[in-house]
Structure 1
């Protein structure tokens, strides 16, 4: 079932397709009422920059009991199959962000939002749902509070309008040119998706990786052979080990948790290029933040635990601050490799929850 806004616009060539997947029963009934309540005009007015289309599909994407991650993955599969740009899933299952129950949440990286219809309450259902869905669309576009304020003040000049237009513009090139145009043409959208995903919080959600890193770091910090290696490696080798350790844990997380997507159709390939790019940037920035935190801890640990006299005897010369920093640097790199081993023990769901931040909808 497809609905299209017929309001004249200068951006007719750019079309953004918003899919609505609704479970049978109350969710699909609400989806149809939203169309009757002029949802498409509301979204078009709130986020100009392209012509919006809404397609409604009645489907039970998961069988209960199901986790939020399973709902997002299933809705993502429908999005790619039907070549939509964004999707909102209306479900009758409860939702959570962490352990906190929520009405809805949006995953900007996947382009998927999920709304729990029963959580909207018994009264004012249509109005609350329309407001919530519109807010979820804004979050899927990577908009934060500042973006929304700028958009309200000057819709024609706001970055959010540009993101909408880029999202709705088809890219027809192949190969490297295709990828380059997708990335450069959607640069604002991509940066907004990465920012909305909060990559610096990645390490906090990976307890096994963090435990493995700390264990490896403590072992390396009190080993005299590590002190000698750090002293003789030099800055070039230390940099190489650091880069290698970051690449190792990044690849472990992406490959181990099956975060890399593949597709064949033109529209899905454009979606997948954006998704995979955001995934790599998100995980790499998260690992870089993880590495920086470990470096600070390793530096403090080296200064507190490595006795200067013993350290000097092992090195054959009086240690200076540079020597302590070199030990902390190599220790941090080895600890990051230990974190990669720990990351391999994480469940796919834990990695996805850590890598892709779920943003709860604002109360309405």
Structure 2
């Protein structure tokens, strides 16, 4: 029989973070009873706050979270932010203050996949740190308790009492280290971060691209696909393209493909004004980081666009371009690989001629997939809130 009740607050930045927070609100109480304390009745509440997604400084995030925790009278609170967090130049994945009962998880720090499972593991671990203690002795006692338990719920396996998340795949390349701070002036008792800056940067960039959800951008390419497909279909009827496909080498065609995708990516950045200039709101380093993430996000979308277009043209070549007709037009012996190269060259040419000059559909979806735009929206929201508060006081 439960003898105690605790309310856990989940505060998330708007967008993908708050959807994860909503899912945690529904699934986490049962897991808390297993991993943390079965005698406690755990309940969760979620909230959305742009304030927790407006700053890259962990102390400011913790301060904003602590204020909301006190206002909502939660027992503990954890913030989910989609911003990269740094401490002394090192990537921070999560932090917690045991005494004040607040913690945070940075989604980019968790890497690319599988995100939901990683967030759930990190959430459970931070609650355990705040409930059971962060000292080495406390963590050893938690480990002993977990080892004596029966099989865990299907959602998770048994955890390491010192590890934020289970080591799998990518985590072996950029391991997460746990450190305990003893500074009374510090708002943090325990911190999880990547010690190596290059490995941390790799984890951070892949995590940021994942947080941008490039697959949401891909449907916006359909108008460009239609334009490019029309131009490429017209080009296929000319023998010049057939002769080029019989004489071009694979490295040369690959270079043409890279140039086409690079030009399209650059055009999209310019056309939709996606390149960020350094601002006072965040450092030049973070501006470069945001731009690099935008570049990789768009490149992922362009790659899917290119592959879709190639599949379409390969089908057209096989169905509509007779082999004997091509053989009669080319000089020399027809290479069987010419059919593959023909679709490949057509894809690159149509990308350059058809897609460049076009713009993406659903521009808001594209902009929302970039960190700079989301930050701009949050700053504007905060400014409106500040103006409203001043208006009420006046």
**Is 1:233 the counterpart of 2:268 in the alignment?**
no
Q: After superposition, where does 1:1-364 map in structure 2 within 5 Å?
A: 16-17=58-59, 34-37=69-72, 41-43=76-78, 144-151=115-122, 152=124, 153-154=159-160, 156-157=162-163, 158=165, 165=192, 184-265=199-280, 267-317=282-332, 319-341=334-356, 343-344=358-359, 348-349=363-364, 351-353=366-368
Aligned position for 1:61? none
Q: Deviation string for 1:10-35 (max 9, x for gaps)?
A: xxxx9615559x9xxxxxxx996544
Number of matched residues? Answer: 243
Asked whether the equivalents of residues 176 and 192 of structure 2 are also in contact (C-alpha less than 8 Å), the reply is yes
Q: Deviation string for 1:152-207 (max 9, x for gaps)?
A: 3347422697698559x9xxxxxxxxxxx976433222212212333245332223
Counterpart secondary structure, 1:189: helix
> 2:275 & 2:247 partners in 1: Cα distance?
38
Shift of 1:343: 3.4
Counterpart secondary structure, 2:58: strand
Shift of 1:254: 1.2
Check 1:142–1:286 CA distance in 2 against 1; reply closer, same or farther (3 A cut): farther
Counterpart secondary structure, 1:43: strand
> 1:262 & 1:273 partners in 2: Cα distance?
9
Asked whether the equivalents of residues 245 and 339 of structure 2 are also in contact (C-alpha less than 8 Å), the reply is no
Query: What is the TM-score when the length of structure 2 is the normalising length?
Result: 0.50
Counterpart secondary structure, 2:283: helix
Asked whether the equivalents of residues 313 and 346 of structure 2 are also in contact (C-alpha less than 8 Å), the reply is yes
Q: Which moved more, 1:217-226 or 1:275-284?
A: 217-226
Runs of at least 5 residues in structure 1 that lack an aligned partner in the other structure: 1-13, 23-29, 48-75, 87-133, 170-180, 359-364
Runs of at least 5 residues in structure 2 that lack an aligned partner in the other structure: 1-55, 87-102, 125-158, 166-170, 179-190, 375-394
Q: Which moved more, 1:326-335 or 1:217-226?
A: 217-226
> 1:350 & 1:326 partners in 2: Cα distance?
34
> 2:213 & 2:223 partners in 1: Cα distance?
20
Q: Which has the higher contact order (CA 8 A, sep 6+)?
A: 1
Asked whether the equivalents of residues 108 and 207 of structure 2 are also in contact (C-alpha less than 8 Å), the reply is no
Check 1:146–1:284 CA distance in 2 against 1; reply closer, same or farther (3 A cut): same
Q: Deviation string for 1:93-142 (max 9, x for gaps)?
A: xxxxxxxxxxxxxxxxxxxxxxxxxxxxxxxxxxxxxxxxx99x665666
Check 1:277–1:302 CA distance in 2 against 1; reply closer, same or farther (3 A cut): same
Higher gyration radius (CA): 2
Shift of 1:237: 2.2
Q: Deviation string for 1:313-344 (max 9, x for gaps)?
A: 11145644301011011011112224532534
Counterpart secondary structure, 1:280: helix
Q: Which moved more, 1:197-206 or 1:213-222?
A: 197-206
Q: Deviation string for 1:244-273 (max 9, x for gaps)?
A: 101000101112111111115594223222
> 1:38 & 1:275 partners in 2: Cα distance?
35
Query: What is the TM-score when the length of structure 1 is the normalising length?
Result: 0.54
> 2:75 & 2:294 partners in 1: Cα distance?
30
Asked whether the equivalents of residues 290 and 370 of structure 2 are also in contact (C-alpha less than 8 Å), the reply is no
Shift of 1:352: 2.0
